[in-house]
């Protein structure tokens, strides 16, 4: 896919990874809808990008990924503004073990809603142009993380959901690729500022150990994650790909065992 003049819809884009993804897409010549529940920060982000890339290339839309109507409305407003939709980044997410229902609703539910609703806009057999959906998972979805079991479960769900769409048996009809990224610890506001007490307030388990691990770990830059996002958009051979990204290590596509290979039919 050539990104120039394509239209992207990115959730959780007011700051952190979503903001870096937006910047990377704008650098490539895309039009971008910055979508977030934090209107103040989102508007500031769009003002910043508009000065650099032009106010005709980027807009802010309030979007609550726990609500289907909010997502659908924001997607419709994106297509009304820019005339098309090609790229969806389901990036919004939280870490909260105390409000575990909300954690599931945003991290997994938001991805599921964003994908199903996005397909209605992207599917070639429904009048769209085809396209690509990139879901933000985590290394926590690939390993045991006793400090954040709910968070880990949501990200494992994102991986399974993404792989299942990547194996779609009617891809030739809809022509929408679906991939995901699994970053390790990333240098965001959350990893910079949250103390042991703040993590405890969110119900995170073994908070002291988690803070110690995070303080000793090399963190990814948000730009590094955005680079992988761009690669997945541009590489038409990637569908159902799960990309693992850990600081100071090459990006790896995760390979899963095929447990049905030797099953007799």
The CATH number covering residue 182 comes to 3.40.50.720
In-domain check, residue 240: yes
The CA–CA distances, whole Å, from 123 to 38, 95, 118 equal: 29, 32, 8
Tokens standing for 96?
């909260």
How far is Cα 137 from Cα 159, in angstroms, rounded to an integer?
Answer: 6
Question: How many other C-beta atoms are found inside a 10 Å radius of the C-beta of residue 10?
Answer: 28
Supply the pLDDT for residue 144: 95
What range does the domain containing 83 cover?
7-186+222-245
Interhelix angle 16-27/222-234, rounded to 10 degrees, is 50
The CA–CA distances, whole Å, from 164 to 14, 53, 112 equal: 29, 36, 12
How far is Cα 25 from Cα 207, in angstroms, rounded to an integer?
Answer: 35
How far is Cα 228 from Cα 11, in angstroms, rounded to an integer?
Answer: 17
Question: How many other C-beta atoms are found inside a 10 Å radius of the C-beta of residue 136?
Answer: 26
In-domain check, residue 208: no
Q: Assess contact for 90 and 63: CB atoms under 8 A.
A: no
Supply the pLDDT for residue 231: 98
In-domain check, residue 264: no
Question: Which of the following is catalytic: 31, 53, 100, 151?
Answer: 151
In-domain check, residue 213: no
pLDDT digits (tens, 9 = 90+) for 160-210: 999 999 999 999 999 999 999 999 988 776 666 578 888 888 888 888 877
Sign of CA dihedral 82, 85, 87, 90: positive
Average pLDDT over residues 119-137: 98
pTM of the model: 0.93
In-domain check, residue 209: no
In-domain check, residue 31: yes
The distance in angstroms from the start CA to the end CA of the chain is 38
Q: Assess contact for 49 and 76: CB atoms under 8 A.
A: no
Active site annotation includes 151? yes
pLDDT digits (tens, 9 = 90+) for 83-115: 999 999 999 999 999 999 999 999 999 999 999
Q: Residue 186: beta bridge partners?
A: 220
How far is Cα 180 from Cα 20, in angstroms, rounded to an integer?
Answer: 16
pLDDT digits (tens, 9 = 90+) for 238-252: 999 999 999 878 999
Average pLDDT, the chain: 93
Supply the pLDDT for residue 119: 98
* Segments in the chain forming alpha helices (H): 16-27, 39-53, 68-82, 100-104, 110-122, 149-166, 171-174, 189-193, 196-201, 207-216, 222-234
Q: How many domains does the chain have?
A: 1
Supply the pLDDT for residue 264: 47
Mean pLDDT lowest for which of 89-93, 122-126, 215-219? 215-219
- Residues written for the chain: 265
Supply the pLDDT for residue 45: 98
Q: Report the run of H or E that residue 35 belongs to, with start and end.
A: strand 31-36
């Amino acid at each position: 896919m050539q990104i120039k003049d394509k239209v992207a819809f990115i959730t959780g884009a007011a700051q952190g990874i979503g903001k870096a993804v937006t910047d990377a897409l704008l650098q490539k010549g895309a039009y971008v809808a910055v979508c977030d529940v934090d209107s103040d920060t989102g508007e500031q982000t769009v003002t910043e990008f508009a000065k650099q890339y032009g106010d005709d290339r980027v807009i802010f839309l309030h979007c609550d990924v726990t609500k289907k109507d909010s997502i659908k409305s924001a997607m419709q407003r994106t297509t009304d503004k820019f005339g098309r939709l090609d790229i969806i980044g389901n990036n919004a997410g939280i870490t909260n073990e105390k409000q575990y229902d909300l954690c599931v609703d945003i991290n997994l539910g938001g991805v599921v809603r964003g994908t199903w609703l996005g397909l209605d806009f992207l599917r070639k057999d429904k009048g769209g142009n085809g396209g690509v959906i990139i879901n933000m998972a985590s290394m926590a979805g690939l390993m045991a993380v006793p400090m954040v079991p709910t968070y880990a479960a949501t990200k494992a769900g994102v991986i399974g959901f993404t792989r299942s769409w990547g194996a779609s048996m009617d891809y030739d009809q809809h022509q929408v690729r679906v991939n995901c990224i699994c970053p390790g610890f990333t240098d965001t506001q959350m990893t910079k500022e949250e103390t042991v007490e703040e993590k405890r307030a969110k119900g995170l388990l073994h908070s002291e150990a988690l803070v110690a691990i995070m303080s000793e770990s090399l963190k990814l830059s948000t730009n590094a994650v955005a680079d992988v996002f761009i690669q997945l958009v541009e590489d038409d051979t990637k569908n159902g790909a799960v990309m693992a990204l850990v600081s100071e290590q090459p990006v790896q596509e995760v390979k899963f065992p095929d447990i049905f290979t030797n099953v007799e039919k």
